[in-house]
Amino acid sequence: MTRLDQRAPVAEAIRSVFNAPNRAAADLRLKEIAAAYADSTPKLAAWMEENLPQGLTVYSLPSAHHRRMRTSNAIERVNQEIKRRTRVASLFPNEASLLRLVSALLAETSAEWETGKVYLNMQNQNLPSV
Protein backbone atom coordinates (compact mmCIF):
# COMPACT_ATOMS: atom_id res chain seq x y z
CA MET A 1 0.00 0.00 0.00
CA THR A 2 1.45 3.37 -1.02
CA ARG A 3 1.29 6.53 1.02
CA LEU A 4 -1.42 7.98 -1.21
CA ASP A 5 -3.49 4.83 -0.74
CA GLN A 6 -3.22 5.32 3.03
CA ARG A 7 -4.34 8.94 3.03
CA ALA A 8 -8.11 8.34 3.09
CA PRO A 9 -8.09 5.57 5.75
CA VAL A 10 -5.75 7.58 7.99
CA ALA A 11 -7.92 10.70 7.64
CA GLU A 12 -11.00 8.65 8.47
CA ALA A 13 -9.29 7.14 11.53
CA ILE A 14 -8.23 10.58 12.78
CA ARG A 15 -11.74 11.92 12.15
CA SER A 16 -13.12 9.09 14.28
CA VAL A 17 -11.01 10.32 17.19
CA PHE A 18 -12.49 13.81 17.00
CA ASN A 19 -16.02 12.47 16.49
CA ALA A 20 -15.89 10.62 19.81
CA PRO A 21 -18.63 11.60 22.25
CA ASN A 22 -16.22 12.57 25.06
CA ARG A 23 -12.54 12.95 25.92
CA ALA A 24 -12.18 9.45 27.43
CA ALA A 25 -13.61 7.84 24.29
CA ALA A 26 -11.38 10.03 22.10
CA ASP A 27 -8.27 9.04 24.08
CA LEU A 28 -9.22 5.37 23.81
CA ARG A 29 -9.83 5.65 20.06
CA LEU A 30 -6.49 7.44 19.62
CA LYS A 31 -4.67 4.62 21.40
CA GLU A 32 -6.46 2.07 19.22
CA ILE A 33 -5.53 3.68 15.91
CA ALA A 34 -1.97 4.44 17.02
CA ALA A 35 -1.57 0.76 17.92
CA ALA A 36 -3.06 -0.25 14.56
CA TYR A 37 -0.50 1.85 12.66
CA ALA A 38 2.45 1.09 14.97
CA ASP A 39 3.69 -1.87 12.92
CA SER A 40 3.10 -0.60 9.38
CA THR A 41 3.94 3.09 9.88
CA PRO A 42 5.65 3.69 13.24
CA LYS A 43 6.43 7.34 12.48
CA LEU A 44 2.76 8.04 11.83
CA ALA A 45 1.74 6.28 15.03
CA ALA A 46 4.29 8.27 17.03
CA TRP A 47 3.12 11.51 15.40
CA MET A 48 -0.50 10.71 16.28
CA GLU A 49 0.34 9.97 19.91
CA GLU A 50 2.38 13.15 20.21
CA ASN A 51 0.25 15.66 18.31
CA LEU A 52 -3.41 14.63 18.30
CA PRO A 53 -3.94 15.05 22.07
CA GLN A 54 -3.39 18.80 21.61
CA GLY A 55 -6.56 18.93 19.51
CA LEU A 56 -8.53 17.04 22.12
CA THR A 57 -8.63 20.07 24.40
CA VAL A 58 -11.86 20.93 22.59
CA TYR A 59 -13.53 18.39 24.89
CA SER A 60 -12.99 20.75 27.84
CA LEU A 61 -15.63 23.05 26.29
CA PRO A 62 -19.39 22.47 26.38
CA SER A 63 -20.46 19.80 23.88
CA ALA A 64 -22.42 22.35 21.84
CA HIS A 65 -19.11 24.04 20.93
CA HIS A 66 -17.12 20.98 19.86
CA ARG A 67 -17.92 21.01 16.16
CA ARG A 68 -17.37 24.73 15.69
CA MET A 69 -14.10 24.74 17.60
CA ARG A 70 -12.55 21.83 15.76
CA THR A 71 -13.10 23.27 12.29
CA SER A 72 -11.17 26.08 10.71
CA ASN A 73 -14.15 27.54 8.83
CA ALA A 74 -14.00 30.93 10.56
CA ILE A 75 -10.31 31.51 9.89
CA GLU A 76 -10.65 30.17 6.35
CA ARG A 77 -13.37 32.74 5.72
CA VAL A 78 -11.11 35.53 6.99
CA ASN A 79 -8.27 34.32 4.77
CA GLN A 80 -10.63 34.18 1.79
CA GLU A 81 -11.74 37.78 2.41
CA ILE A 82 -8.12 38.99 2.72
CA LYS A 83 -7.29 37.27 -0.56
CA ARG A 84 -10.32 38.81 -2.26
CA ARG A 85 -9.56 42.34 -1.07
CA THR A 86 -5.84 42.20 -1.87
CA ARG A 87 -6.60 40.81 -5.33
CA VAL A 88 -8.85 43.81 -6.05
CA ALA A 89 -6.03 46.23 -5.18
CA SER A 90 -3.57 43.91 -6.98
CA LEU A 91 -0.55 46.23 -6.81
CA PHE A 92 0.69 47.82 -3.62
CA PRO A 93 3.31 50.59 -3.66
CA ASN A 94 5.02 49.13 -0.59
CA GLU A 95 4.67 46.57 2.15
CA ALA A 96 3.23 49.12 4.59
CA SER A 97 0.23 49.79 2.32
CA LEU A 98 -0.53 46.08 2.17
CA LEU A 99 -0.22 45.85 5.94
CA ARG A 100 -2.63 48.80 6.38
CA LEU A 101 -5.24 47.17 4.16
CA VAL A 102 -5.01 43.79 5.89
CA SER A 103 -4.98 45.41 9.36
CA ALA A 104 -8.08 47.43 8.51
CA LEU A 105 -9.82 44.31 7.22
CA LEU A 106 -8.95 42.36 10.37
CA ALA A 107 -10.11 45.24 12.60
CA GLU A 108 -13.40 45.32 10.69
CA THR A 109 -13.80 41.56 11.06
CA SER A 110 -13.03 41.77 14.77
CA ALA A 111 -15.65 44.49 15.24
CA GLU A 112 -18.23 42.39 13.38
CA TRP A 113 -17.44 39.36 15.54
CA GLU A 114 -17.66 41.40 18.75
CA THR A 115 -20.97 43.06 17.92
CA GLY A 116 -22.61 40.60 15.53
CA LYS A 117 -24.24 37.23 15.96
CA VAL A 118 -22.81 35.18 18.82
CA TYR A 119 -20.78 32.34 17.34
CA LEU A 120 -20.11 30.63 20.67
CA ASN A 121 -22.21 31.55 23.68
CA MET A 122 -19.88 31.15 26.66
CA GLN A 123 -22.25 32.70 29.21
CA ASN A 124 -24.03 30.45 31.69
CA GLN A 125 -21.86 27.50 30.69
CA ASN A 126 -20.29 25.21 33.25
CA LEU A 127 -16.75 25.43 32.00
CA PRO A 128 -13.99 23.56 33.79
CA SER A 129 -11.38 25.81 35.34
CA VAL A 130 -8.01 25.82 33.64
Task: Give the separation between CA 24 and CA 56, rounded to whole angstroms.
Answer: 10
Do both 45 and 85 map to the same domain? Answer: no
What rounded mean pLDDT belongs to the chain?
84
Q: What is the mean pLDDT of residues 117-129?
A: 59
At 8-46, the pLDDT tens digits run: 999 999 999 988 989 999 999 999 999 999 999 999 999
Number of domains in the chain: 2
Find out whether 101 and 89 touch, Cβ atoms under 8 Å.
Answer: yes
Domain stops at, among 44, 62, 80: 62
Do both 12 and 47 map to the same domain? Answer: yes
In a domain, 128, yes or no: no
pLDDT of residue 130: 45
In Å, how far are 15, 75, 122 from 52, measured between CA atoms?
11, 20, 25
Residue 29 belongs to domain spanning: 3-62
Q: What percent of the chain has pLDDT over 90?
A: 42
Q: What sign does the dihedral 123-69-41-34 (CA atoms) show?
A: positive
Question: Can you give the C-alpha Rg of the chain in angstroms?
Answer: 20
